[in-house]
Amino acid sequence: MTIKTFEELKETCIKNNTEIWQTAQLQEAQIHDITVEEFRARVNKTLSAMKEAIKNGMESSVLTNGKMGGFDCAKQKEYYKNNPCIYGKLYEKILCYSLATSEENARMGRIAACPTAGACGIVPSVIISMGEIYNIDNEKLINSLIIAGITGQIISFKVKPSGATAGCQAECGSASAMAAAAMAYLFDCDTDKILNSSALALKNILGLTCDPVRGFVEVPCIKRNPFMALHAASAVEMAKAGIVSVIPIDDIVDAMEQTGALMSSDLKESSRAGLAKTKTAIVMEKACFTKKYYSALKE
């Protein structure tokens, strides 16, 4: 039977004396009628694609398809050459890697949608940065990605990870919860703290709209990825300290479903309201994008 709630996930882990990643990989192997080893090989392939997207994004400053991005990661990298990040190397890597991946997506490069292309920089930046900073072996990184996966899967049973369905809370919000779960595991947190990390992350993104300027997954999407990745890290820090979400994660998912239903369709990926219809955005819609305009964006 497929696990469809976080309560079921926790109960299964307790019953079988397993960790979340062990429960998840066994379930997925059974669903797809493959061995656990074959499933882990698939996850490793996804992990490799994430690493490749980060590498490509870090090395490029080519404009994105909508011409509104593609240069921010390069700016951030250049800044850090002479200005150490005030929050440390982990923060620096998460920030740069999430920008790199999101910009690579907007260039139509190869990325791993997790859970969507628009939110593709959040989970990879956290997992890969943790691996590099703390010298974590690849098998444990695979475990963390499995945990991120089942977190997103359970959320998606109630709320589809689509901006058109429930706003960006369903995309970047779900991704932040997934990243928080993965990061908590990599910090050797127990099942309760892993689930609580996801709850804290998801709870505080409820109501986030999807209002892309000019209909491209660039503004505010690219910069939103690093914010949501670091949001996940904040959730983990709180959970590690013993701070608990008063509302459990299954209830939070219910609240996200309700919030999405109440949200105007104008704020759900239609570009008919919000940031997409600000004075500046309207001018951008009508503007002829010249070299002068590109230069102004890069400054």
Judged against a pLDDT cut of 70, whether residue 82 lies above it is answered with yes
For range 217-227, the mean pLDDT: 98
Q: Confidence class of residue 1 from pLDDT cuts 50, 70 and 90?
A: confident
Question: How many other C-beta atoms are found inside a 10 Å radius of the C-beta of residue 205?
Answer: 25
Residues 6+ apart with CB under 8 A from 211: 220, 267, 271, 273, 274, 275, 276, 277
Residues 6+ apart with CB under 8 A from 181: 20, 147, 148, 151, 194, 195, 197, 198
- What is the percentage of the chain residues whose pLDDT exceeds 90? 94
151 touches 181 (CB < 8 A): yes
User: What 8-state DSSP symbol labels residue 60?
Assistant: -
Domains of the chain: 6-298 (1.10.4100)
Chain segment 38-76, per-residue pLDDT in tens: 999 999 999 999 999 999 999 999 999 999 999 999 999
Q: Confidence class of residue 287 from pLDDT cuts 50, 70 and 90?
A: confident
For range 133-155, the mean pLDDT: 98
154 touches 6 (CB < 8 A): yes
Chain segment 250-266, per-residue pLDDT in tens: 999 999 999 999 999 99
Helical axes 122-134 vs 36-59, angle rounded to 10°: 90
Three-state SS string over 170-211 comes to HHHHHHHHHHHHHHHHHCCCCHHHHHHHHHHHHHCCCCCCEC
How far apart are the C-alpha atoms of 80 and 292, rounded to whole Å? 27
205 touches 162 (CB < 8 A): no
Chain segment 89-116, per-residue pLDDT in tens: 999 999 999 999 999 999 999 999 999 9
Judged against a pLDDT cut of 70, whether residue 293 lies above it is answered with no
Judged against a pLDDT cut of 70, whether residue 296 lies above it is answered with no
- In the prediction, which pLDDT does 289 show? 54
User: Which of 34-38, 194-198, 291-295 is predicted least confidently?
Assistant: 291-295
